[in-house]
């Protein structure tokens, strides 16, 4: 294997690792019910908007709340939703008007 081949392989691996790290939600998808949902840390490759929808019936329902997300790591993301939801919610990260990542969260009552 030549040096050039090794450099190309290393560059490809770095790009893959960077892409895999972008647009990620927390591993724990259980949150406490509240009128402000605490979703944890969310990583985004570009600035965008986090939209939280009702997901009680297993489909994307009514929009409950939004929060602006900046590029990179966003820690302690909190989305005001008005009335505390029950069941499940769907968080959708949207960049330039296009959804780039989504995760269901199970809302737990205390």
Q: What are the pLDDT digits (tens) for 46-86?
A: 999 999 999 999 999 999 999 999 999 999 999 999 999 99
Q: What is the mean pLDDT of the chain?
A: 85
Contact call for residues 71 and 96 (beta carbons, < 8 A): no
CATH number at residue 62: 2.60.40.10
The pTM of the full predicted model, rounded to 2 decimals, is: 0.78
| Domain around 74 | 23-108
Does residue 102 lie in a domain region? yes
Q: Is 12 exposed, middle or buried (0-12, 13-18, 19+ CB in 10 A)?
A: exposed
| β 98-108/30-32 pair status | parallel
Q: How many CB atoms lie within 10 A of CB 37?
A: 23
């Amino acid at each position: 294997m030549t040096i050039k081949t090794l450099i190309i392989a290393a560059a490809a691996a770095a790009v893959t690792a960077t892409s895999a790290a972008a647009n990620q939600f927390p591993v724990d998808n259980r949150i406490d019910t509240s009128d402000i949902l605490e979703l944890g840390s969310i990583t985004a490759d570009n600035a965008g908007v986090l939209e939280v929808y009702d997901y009680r019936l297993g489909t994307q329902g009514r929009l409950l709340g939004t929060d602006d997300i900046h590029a990179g790591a966003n820690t302690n993301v909190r989305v005001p939703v008005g009335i505390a939801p029950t069941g499940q919610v769907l968080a959708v990260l949207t960049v330039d008007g296009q959804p780039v990542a989504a995760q269901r969260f199970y809302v737990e009552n205390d």
